Chains A and B, each alone.
Chain A
């Protein structure tokens, strides 16, 4: 891969993409320089502070029906706002790698509860600890009210264990199915008894509910609490392998390569599970820039949307973005279950593919709703399109964008950088039929409406 292609491949994976107008400047650097810059930009951490925590002074059950209904409605609204806020941050923040990692952990530590403040807190945990050592990240996630609630650890008490948290901790977060025994789960559950939070949402261990007996876990014996369990898990080599598999699947390719995965696992192990150092290793490896790796992944709906917004500097906000996420199958803060989003081909079915291919035209304000044939107006995709066009207040700086594209072979320029595949001949033909004034926007729309654009 030549260095321009390498650069764009790196940006597609380590960030949410570059604006068209930044291509030239970016291409004056080497991939190594770009990588350094990407890491430098993400050094600091800034939490999302949209939702103000309201301590629960009243037990929900004590509220009247109407009050509970109103509370639920307010919470749904807040979660939508949190969704849009994070979306906008992914589009605008210079800390691209940090937001990428946050999104990755958001899927890895999938959590879904209706409490906006708790979901915001967990999101900030992913953000703050997601590029440091995995132990701290795992510990903070395990202490977060959101996760403790979601995985029923509040009900995990001495003599009355609830194993859900312990099970998912090992099955989904660290080791994978089959790499622990049922006894390990039971004993781990005992260690996490009493892990809870107070009315202000602060972590607290309720001592009366905590089982202080001897436990046996992975062959070790002791009066373990949750922290000790985490330490023992991390001492299992399998944990590094498991994390390496997940990082490879998400950042490199959905088709596993044992050698490359082992290299990542070795790096994790050698750096004491340091995520940032391991990510730098991945992005610096020769094989990361292999032919089979670029364009191997189907973009997740969020990667696709955020990328489109960044590339074309789409301005403006729209509540419809949540509905669009729904229509594509990925809504922030609403993973389908604790296993997260399956991803890869699961993103694509007849409906979601049509929507993905049509969306750039709609979002860029270029597509007219389909002419209806005879028949009544029903709620259908074209109705949806019409409503969207009215509600979307999005602006795209066309003229500025087209100035950034060379006049000579613009199709090649764009397809090299946005697709990594040659521009289809019949599309060139179709575009050449357009009037000059239409050409620019239609070209930009066409590039992002191709199936090849769905890949990164």
Chain B
């Protein structure tokens, strides 16, 4: 990748341009960063896997075409959690509606990319790697963010994925995020006597050294996180569901001041070809309640202002319902941004135009990389063009 050749140059200019108090490595007393620095912000990425139906999430109840296309599964105006005279949320999203009314939620509409791919794998890869739809990249946008902006000794926990496996989004060339199902479990795993002994080894061979370093990083991060998780306060009032549980842990880590800049979470189940109303009721309810609890918790802990949660899905779904009370793979959808420091709360971008479709699909108006650009440049404080390429001005979301 040509973009990565500018890494060395960018590291210096990043520090100058960011204007944050990130100390360059040669100025630090310790080699490991222990705490978030003043002014450093946190990004939580929440992936809805399967292709969430955007039209039944942000319902255009003021548009007849919506009801004409969805006689069975269209959500009636009386049931919509209204946000304005034209659109509103799915009825199970009351907590997110509250966030919207408090100015702590941006709803970015019509987000997609040119030449959309309707395959789960491809489209998710495109979102993960921030590639064009004809390109195949093997590193993720957050992985490349780590490659270019974190010191090699900063610890593997600079970016944490809550789950058993690491998403492509979090894989870089020389740095990757850390996948943690549970800090306690990970710590136990790394306590294996053989692994403990191994992590003290070194090697002359480049790739062998890479493995030893990955192992040592994992060991150290596991121990660090375990210690922090033990002292983290997780008493917030969260609903009983797996997503909320993970967000509870994340909140605990944020409040404990761990220097993790990025958290990645995944909520599956959105591929609603059949019986969409039941699935969305359950899943959107889970999403909204968990996000609401997370916001309340972070506010109480005084860290809501420095946290932004981006919620996305790999595509939206077709405008017309299918014959199974569901919808099929589509194109453009919504991206939500929640947080205490948003610059453009409310609706961003035009409402979906149901009269101007591309073979039955919504046309995208905003490239998802514009959202990434904002988050990289203005939230994480780094050069976004080195991570996702040039030409994305951003939307001023943060």
B16 within 8 A of A: no
Known: A357-B198, A427-B197, A430-B193. A327 touches B181 (CB 8 A): no
Known: A373-B188, A430-B197. A65 touches B208 (CB 8 A): no
Q: Are B195 and A375 in contact (CB under 8 A)?
A: no
Q: Which of A167, A353, A370, A421 contacts B218 (CB 8 A)?
A: A353
Q: Which residue of A lies closest to B164 (CB)?
A: A351
Chain A residues, CB < 8 A from B192: 358, 370
CB distance from A162 to the nearest CB of B (A): 13
Interface mask (B347-376 → A, CB under 8 Å = 1, otherwise 0): 000000000000000000000000000000
Q: Are B207 and A350 in contact (CB under 8 A)?
A: no
Bound together, the chains give a CA A357 to CA B177 distance in angstroms of: 19
Q: Which of B174, B178, B274 contacts A350 (CB 8 A)?
A: B178
B282 within 8 A of A: no
> How many B residues are at the interface, by size bracket?
35 or more
A404 within 8 A of B: no
> How many A residues are at the interface, by size bracket?
35 or more
A446 within 8 A of B: yes
Q: Are A353 and B215 in contact (CB under 8 A)?
A: yes
A379 within 8 A of B: yes
Q: Are A370 and B189 in contact (CB under 8 A)?
A: yes
Chain B residues, CB < 8 A from A382: 185, 188-189
Bound together, the chains give a CA A416 to CA B214 distance in angstroms of: 25
Known: A370-B188, A382-B188, A446-B194. A345 touches B210 (CB 8 A): yes
- The residues in B between 71 and 119 inclusive whose CB is less than 8 angstroms from any CB of A are none
Interface mask (A365-409 → B, CB under 8 Å = 1, otherwise 0): 000001111010011111000000000000000000000000000
Chain B residues, CB < 8 A from A357: 194-195, 198, 215
B121 within 8 A of A: yes
Known: A354-B218, A357-B215, A451-B215. A370 touches B191 (CB 8 A): yes
Bound together, the chains give a CA A452 to CA B209 distance in angstroms of: 10
Q: Are A451 and B182 in contact (CB under 8 A)?
A: no
B297 within 8 A of A: no
Bound together, the chains give a CA A421 to CA B203 distance in angstroms of: 10
Chain B residues, CB < 8 A from A26: none
- The residues in A between 298 and 351 inclusive whose CB is less than 8 angstroms from any CB of B are 298, 327, 336-339, 342, 345-346, 348-351
Q: Are B215 and A372 in contact (CB under 8 A)?
A: no
Chain A residues, CB < 8 A from B390: none
Q: Are A350 and B194 in contact (CB under 8 A)?
A: no
Known: A337-B122, A382-B189. A348 touches B181 (CB 8 A): no
CB distance from B190 to the nearest CB of A (A): 7
Q: Are B125 and A353 in contact (CB under 8 A)?
A: no
Q: Which of B176, B208, B218 contacts A455 (CB 8 A)?
A: B208
Q: Are B181 and A380 in contact (CB under 8 A)?
A: yes
A259 within 8 A of B: no
Chain B residues, CB < 8 A from A338: 136
Bound together, the chains give a CA A112 to CA B217 distance in angstroms of: 35
Q: Which of A339, A351, A353, A424 contacts B165 (CB 8 A)?
A: A351
Q: Which residue of A lies closest to B181 (CB)?
A: A380
Bound together, the chains give a CA A66 to CA B103 distance in angstroms of: 45
Chain B residues, CB < 8 A from A451: 198, 201, 203, 208, 211-212, 215
Q: Which residue of A lies closest to B191 (CB)?
A: A370
Q: 6 tightest CB-CB pairs across the interface, nearest first?
A: A380-B185, A342-B138, A339-B136, A451-B211, A350-B218, A351-B179
> Could you jot down 16 A-B contacts, CB within 8 Å?
A65-B324, A337-B121, A337-B125, A342-B138, A349-B176, A350-B218, A357-B215, A358-B195, A370-B188, A370-B191, A373-B184, A381-B164, A421-B208, A427-B197, A430-B193, A455-B208
6 further contact pairs, Cβ within 8 A, besides A350-B176, A426-B200: A295-B208, A350-B179, A371-B188, A373-B184, A449-B194, A455-B207
